[in-house]
Structure 1
Amino acid sequence: MNKQTEPFLFDAGIEARAAVSTPQVGISRPHESAHLHVAGTATYTDDIPELAGTLHAALGMSARAHARIKAISLDQVRAAPGVVAVLTAEDIPAANDCGPIIHDDPILANGLVQFIGQPVFVVVATSHDAARRAARLGAIEYEDLPPVLSPEAAHQAGSYVLPPMHLTRGEPASHIAAAVHRDRGNIRLGGQEQFYLEGQIAYAAPKENDGMHVWCSTQHPTEMQHAVAHMLGWHAHQVLVECRRMGGGFGGKESQSAMFACCAALAAWKLLCPVKLRPDRDDDMMITGKRHDFVFNYEVGHDAEGRLDGVAVEMVSRAGFSADLSGPVMTRAICHFDNAYWLPNVKIDGYCGKTNTQSNTAFRGFGGPQGAFAIEYILDNVARTVGRDSLDVRRANLYGKAERNVTPYGQTVEDNVIHELLDELEASSAYRERRAATRAFNAGSPVLKKGIAITPVKFGISFNVAHFNQAGALVHVYNDGSVLVNHGGTEMGQGLNTKVAMVVAHELGIRLERVRVTATDTSKVANTSATAASTGTDLNGKAAQDAARQIRERLAAFAARQAGVDADSVQFGDDLIVAGELRLDFSDLARQAYVARVQLWSDGFYTTPKLYWDQSRLQGRPFYYYAYGAACSEVLVDTLTGEWRLLRADVLHDAGRSLNPAIDIGQVEGGFIQGMGWLTTEELWWNRDGKLMTHAPSTYKIPTVNDCPEDFHVRLFENDNAEDSIHRSKAVGEPPLLLPFSVFFAIRDAVASVGDYKVNPPLVAPATSEAILDAVDAMRATAPVVQ
């Protein structure tokens, strides 16, 4: 018999194998590129072999926060060694704009600079070093204009990048006025640098017939495609954007990679040769936006048990000089102010302050962490005011199940598991016993003070904009039984490609080793959404599953015809296909289906159901489901130096029915430490001229391995997603970043001990050593004198 023409071949060895399928999801698997990362052979954009004739670009940047450009001389730049060309806004053939929503973000400044570090011109030279040295030689004459450098100053001046947002439920003013206890105050919450290990980079090469291939470290290839096409006055099909992997993104490569992609493409178009643009870390940090810092002004009324009667909050963010994604960030902050709590009477006002600083952008959590931090701070104050354990006050305000379960923006919380999750964490962390132990320790320790706190998380999953909640994928089965997958999401280390490959392997009943995921490419899957909002696996996993299912159904129908059985009875699993009495290896099935002219590739598509949103009223169902979690943290603070240490952290997080527990636990651990850095050590500081002074690892302090606690207990909560997500899993990218609220409030608890827990410490975030000392000094100044 000819194996290429005979539909089925009997194999006694195969017949003896069990037909029960081993699941390919729900089990721990290593990251698909882990071995490449360890060996140093993973290809990032800067590792792509350079094409012949490649030139290198660098950016000349503004030295003023707000000024008109009176004159610009680039003669010295052009005369510098190795320089081939110098490009300005006048060289852009079409749209000088890379704003993702509003067209207020020029690729290169043209006549007006709006922050220190804004790109003004592009130098193209024979080497990276030559380009960077030459970029420092530009001579620009400025006419200075008054800069606005803080969110408070922007708010006072009524300077905003977008119209203010307002949301009200009930009658907060009257309930606050009638409450047993009332309080008002101000909360300061700093921003955060994404600090991706791989910086921004773009590599552009012109193609025949007015085409452009752009390799770019970006979370949103389609947006890069549109930005480059609009700049050149081209159609989208003329631009191909490709991204195999990023060395981190965290939101900083969602919209802000566009300027780098456009500058590289502009130079490549102008010079008709490949051009690479890779800024050094200092330039990267000076140019790009960060997490929005917020200022909150609040009023609250509550009863003697700490239950909130009414709360009003004014949120002011530092948007920077342009809108970027500040509108969606503020929307999500407003929609997460409630966090896990029922707020019967609430008023929220959101203002995106326009400042002459970097245009702030997406960052893991996308405004959600900022909004939720404010209500946690308020409840922490309330607990101290009424003299109750902060956990008890938080419990008293939690959302209910059948009642007290509608958010201020009108969505019913249908999947609430926060009560059960908190019960489990409280018991497993021995919170009550340890809280008593910290009090006993502090009573006998005048300098070193311990603090402990538990904080919950409820985080909504979906894009704010409904039409972004869609994804496509391609799945190819080759006639040797190997499988190639391409989808619209991007891999930035979070394990998206690993999870998508697992989903496809499970759907086809084959081993994971058979499946390979290729680079994200706008010529393969079009009109993709950003890999953001924790939706990467939810969307692309479902799209890939849809494509794989279509192929499986075709293969099942083919096998059923040959075996004379019903297609529904055909089983796939463990690289086997079982049809009645016949057994066949998946490789043989693919080969024989190909000979029989069965289509072995398919496209898949998915849209998230149930979503609707009225932005004008801030009402609707913006989230498909919620992810829950909680953390218990214990710290030790030195009240003489402000130094502190995280002694122990217990984390319980709801990942639904986890697709890959190992990857999900890694994401929870990473999110926790990154969020802890935001709230404690990562301080952004601009001087009085508006220059960012924390623009390098020497001045900006991210957490290190030494900051991780020795006792770090991270577990996943047993809980299937109530909604039909991919295999009932839940997103795990952004929600864990809110878990280290517990670290901040544990530090605040330790500082409060200086005042016998009777005064609310004026601790700002980030709680740097200086901020801790300021709070300790304030507590000592207000503490009652002991006779």
Structure 2
Amino acid sequence: HPSEVQRMVAQVLGVPSNAITVNVRRMGGGFGGKETQGNQFATLAAVAARKLRRAVKFRPDRDDDMTATGKRHDFLVHYDVGFDEEGRIRALQANYAARCGFSADLSGPVTDRALFHADNAYFYPHVKLTSQPLKTNTVSNTAFRGFGGPQGMLGGERIIEEIAYALGKDPLEIRKLNFYGDAHSGRNVTPYHQKIEDNIIGRIVDELEASADYQARRAAIIEFNRSSRVIRKGIALTPVKFGISFTLTHLNQAGALVHIYTDGSVHLNHGGTEMGQGVYTKVAQVLADSFQIDIDRVKITATTTGKVPNTSATAASSGSDLNGMAAFDAARQIKERLVAFAAERWQTTAENVTFTANHVRIGDDLVPFAQFVQEAYGARVQLSAAGFYATPGIHWDRAAGRGTPFYYFAYGAAVSEVSVDTLTGEYMIDRVDVLHDVGRSLNPAIDLGQIEGGFVQGMGWLTTEELWWDEKGRLRTHAPSTYKIPLASDRPKIFNVRLAEWSENAEETIGRSKAVGEPPLMLPISVVEALSMAVASVAGYRECPRLDTPATPERVLMAVERLRAG
């Protein structure tokens, strides 16, 4: 969040914002921690630089960094749910309590977003959801990929799981029964009163259920578990519906600066920061497509508050949406000037001017793009523009608890199959199948990478990445030696990921694409549900195992022993 760092440094030094320029190079991963927690290092460096009158760099040791910076908020969810004999939810009351740490940081909006996603893909006809941010003697927790949404969604999926075990049914049957309906069903209003008008979760789940052969595999697993003494298997299919936009409405804006030089090369700068998610590439593609030039003719420079001011955080999965549209707006302004110039210079109409394959077609003439730009420069046409975009049609009244906080929703589903050693609690992720909705993808290779990476990261969050504080609030799992991050060897043995290529965003996003940063992180809820099924098999699937996350081998083993004893 370059502009927030700029404001913080300016306030600490007692100078106006125009005295501070923040430059952000490409980063090796973001995932939320750099949204606000970079402020402390920037302000400390600025104070030291002013005091010492020399350049200052902070480079924390990994152990210090993990100890001092915030984590994802851990939640304790209490719920009461009423449902009928079929498993359809009639009423729900739930409280989401969160460990926030010693200061507020982003805990307010994080706990808000948990409530926004407590419904996941399910319709609750009567519902009361509350959040409970708790001050604790631990490090101040902060943003993390999904920003409270994953915790809210996990709570919602546990409720579905409880209903399924209470009725002795396949959880997928309960899920499908409770899905939001279409606009005419009367079952398309969220707890925050936004209407779901782009619902495709039914189609996503049906297609994945068929392509992953879910029903046959589940029947085979139940048969396997009947005779297997030690190894038990589980399978689960879980959906994802994730809202896209900042819930703080004014953050849904972006700017971009575009120059065309006289040789036809293009310079691009925008407010999005590159942290491995491909936003630089995607926004460059937008310009290349707009001008119909090769992408290597577009130069992207490091994000800086000196070129594009008042940036929003590159967060909420909206980096490509916002900055892509801002760049598109800048290109539109320049193209309008160029088209007007061509129409006057060649004595034709604007309709006869088109950009095509490194050329501009003007009537019957085909002019190379670089030559055309040179002629426009000679005619004193402005070849630079500042683009701007503000997401339309969204608002949120927090006091009333209603509004339209999200521009659209991204959907997905995953089937996970696991094997559990009931003597040790250790397990393997045997196979994962994913079908995910990215609208009309701007770059399928990048989007597939985001889905695969998001799944593995979410799998780590839910299974192995256990945080442990002592009684004085000191983090003891403060290094990779004690904090178990997934390795390449932990990836699913069979990992099939597909894009829903038929999907197209109903809203006017860039290229009718959809965001892909955060939604895939919640797909591995299916891993936890599959582990639950394997554990439940030791007691004839009669009781919900209620696995806490992260579902470490120790927790899995304790759940197995508890069910066997019960």
Question: Could you tell me the TM-score, scaled by structure 1's length?
Answer: 0.71
Q: Does the Cα contact within 8 Å between 1:762 and 1:778 map onto a contact in 2?
A: no
- Alignment equivalent of 1:759, drawn from 537, 543, 546: 543
- Alignment equivalent of 2:530, drawn from 746, 749, 755: 746
Query: What SS does the corresponding residue of 2:545 show, helix, strand or coil?
Result: coil
- Say whether residues 1:319 and 2:103 are aligned partners: no
- Residue-by-residue CA offset, 1:341-381 (whole Å, 9 max, x unaligned): 00011111111000011110000000001001001011111
**1:493 matched residue in structure 2:** 276
**1:615 matched residue in structure 2:** 398
**1:202 matched residue in structure 2:** none
- Residue-by-residue CA offset, 1:2-35 (whole Å, 9 max, x unaligned): xxxxxxxxxxxxxxxxxxxxxxxxxxxxxxxxxx
How is 1:356-367 mapped onto 2 (pairs within 5 angstroms)? 356-367=137-148
Query: What SS does the corresponding residue of 1:253 show, helix, strand or coil?
Result: helix
**1:234 matched residue in structure 2:** 15
Q: How much does 1:562 deviate?
A: 2.1
Query: What SS does the corresponding residue of 1:254 show, helix, strand or coil?
Result: helix
- Residue-by-residue CA offset, 1:39-76 (whole Å, 9 max, x unaligned): xxxxxxxxxxxxxxxxxxxxxxxxxxxxxxxxxxxxxx
Q: 1: distance between equivalents of 2:191 and 2:545? A: 29
Q: How much does 1:710 deviate?
A: 2.4
- Say whether residues 1:287 and 2:71 are aligned partners: no
State the one-letter code of the partner of 1:272. R
Q: 2: distance between equivalents of 1:643 and 1:564? A: 76
State the one-letter code of the partner of 2:466. E
Q: 2: distance between equivalents of 1:636 and 1:491? A: 38
**1:724 matched residue in structure 2:** 508
State the one-letter code of the partner of 1:736. P
Q: Does the Cα contact within 8 Å between 1:563 and 1:582 map onto a contact in 2?
A: no
- Alignment equivalent of 1:354, drawn from 123, 135, 138: 135
- Say whether residues 1:458 and 2:245 are aligned partners: no
Q: Does the Cα contact within 8 Å between 1:608 and 1:624 map onto a contact in 2?
A: yes
Q: How much does 1:485 deviate?
A: 0.3
How is 1:321-720 mapped onto 2 (pairs within 5 angstroms)? 321-401=102-182, 402=184, 403-717=186-500, 718-720=502-504
- Residue-by-residue CA offset, 1:79-136 (whole Å, 9 max, x unaligned): xxxxxxxxxxxxxxxxxxxxxxxxxxxxxxxxxxxxxxxxxxxxxxxxxxxxxxxxxx
Query: What SS does the corresponding residue of 2:250 show, helix, strand or coil?
Result: helix
- Residue-by-residue CA offset, 1:749-772 (whole Å, 9 max, x unaligned): 100001110111131100001000
- Alignment equivalent of 1:300, drawn from 39, 61, 81: 81
**2:50 matched residue in structure 1:** 269
State the one-letter code of the partner of 2:516. V
Q: Does the Cα contact within 8 Å between 2:435 and 2:497 map onto a contact in 1?
A: yes
Query: What SS does the corresponding residue of 1:577 show, helix, strand or coil?
Result: strand
Q: Does the Cα contact within 8 Å between 2:438 and 2:499 map onto a contact in 1?
A: yes
Q: 2: distance between equivalents of 1:762 and 1:371? A: 16
Q: Does the Cα contact within 8 Å between 1:649 and 1:712 map onto a contact in 2?
A: yes
- Bigger Rg, structure 1 or 2: 1
- Residue-by-residue CA offset, 1:198-220 (whole Å, 9 max, x unaligned): xxxxxxxxxxxxxxxxxxxxxx0
Q: How much does 1:454 deviate?
A: 0.3
Q: 1: distance between equivalents of 2:95 and 2:334? A: 53
Q: How much does 1:602 deviate?
A: 0.6
Q: How much does 1:567 deviate?
A: 1.3
Higher normalized helix content (fraction of residues): 2
Q: How much does 1:244 deviate?
A: 1.8
Identity within the alignment, %: 59
Query: What SS does the corresponding residue of 2:81 show, helix, strand or coil?
Result: strand
- Alignment equivalent of 1:244, drawn from 25, 34, 38: 25
Query: What SS does the corresponding residue of 2:263 show, helix, strand or coil?
Result: coil
Q: 2: distance between equivalents of 1:319 and 1:689? A: 16
State the one-letter code of the partner of 2:513. S
Q: How much does 1:773 deviate?
A: 0.6
Gaps of 5+ in 2: none
How many residue pairs align between the two structures?
Answer: 563
Question: Could you tell me the TM-score, scaled by structure 2's length?
Answer: 0.99
- Residue-by-residue CA offset, 1:620-664 (whole Å, 9 max, x unaligned): 010000000000000000011111111000000000011001100
State the one-letter code of the partner of 1:720. E
State the one-letter code of the partner of 1:668. I
Query: What SS does the corresponding residue of 2:489 show, helix, strand or coil?
Result: helix
State the one-letter code of the partner of 2:370. S
- Residue-by-residue CA offset, 1:483-540 (whole Å, 9 max, x unaligned): 0100001000000000000001101111111111110000110001000000100000
Q: 1: distance between equivalents of 2:493 and 2:34? A: 32
Q: How much does 1:395 deviate?
A: 0.4
- Residue-by-residue CA offset, 1:730-787 (whole Å, 9 max, x unaligned): 00000001100000100011000011101111311000010001100111011xxxxx
Query: What SS does the corresponding residue of 2:370 show, helix, strand or coil?
Result: helix
Q: 2: distance between equivalents of 1:504 and 1:491? A: 17
Query: What SS does the corresponding residue of 2:484 show, helix, strand or coil?
Result: coil
Q: How much does 1:558 deviate?
A: 1.5
Q: How much does 1:565 deviate?
A: 1.2
Q: 2: distance between equivalents of 1:704 and 1:248? A: 16
Query: What SS does the corresponding residue of 1:270 show, helix, strand or coil?
Result: helix
Q: Does the Cα contact within 8 Å between 1:508 and 1:549 map onto a contact in 2?
A: no
Query: What SS does the corresponding residue of 1:277 show, helix, strand or coil?
Result: coil
Q: 1: distance between equivalents of 2:149 and 2:84? A: 27
State the one-letter code of the partner of 2:45. A
State the one-letter code of the partner of 2:556. I
Q: Does the Cα contact within 8 Å between 2:137 and 2:472 map onto a contact in 1?
A: no
Q: 1: distance between equivalents of 2:565 and 2:474? A: 34
- Alignment equivalent of 1:768, drawn from 537, 552, 561: 552
Q: 2: distance between equivalents of 1:648 and 1:708? A: 9
Q: 2: distance between equivalents of 1:568 and 1:601? A: 23
Q: How much does 1:569 deviate?
A: 2.0
Q: 1: distance between equivalents of 2:214 and 2:492? A: 17
Does 705-714 or 234-243 show the bigger shift? 705-714
State the one-letter code of the partner of 2:538. V
**2:90 matched residue in structure 1:** 309
Q: How much does 1:317 deviate?
A: 0.2
Q: 2: distance between equivalents of 1:476 and 1:710? A: 47
Give the superposed CA RMSD.
Answer: 0.7
- Say whether residues 1:223 and 2:7 are aligned partners: no
Q: 2: distance between equivalents of 1:569 and 1:434? A: 59
- Residue-by-residue CA offset, 1:173-216 (whole Å, 9 max, x unaligned): xxxxxxxxxxxxxxxxxxxxxxxxxxxxxxxxxxxxxxxxxxxx
How is 1:150-189 mapped onto 2 (pairs within 5 angstroms)? none
- Residue-by-residue CA offset, 1:668-713 (whole Å, 9 max, x unaligned): 0010000000000000000122210000000001111101112111
Q: 2: distance between equivalents of 1:349 and 1:328? A: 13
4+ residue stretches of structure 1 with deviation over 2 A? none
Gaps of 5+ in 1: 1-219, 783-787
State the one-letter code of the partner of 2:434. V
- Say whether residues 1:777 and 2:565 are aligned partners: no
Query: What SS does the corresponding residue of 1:648 show, helix, strand or coil?
Result: strand
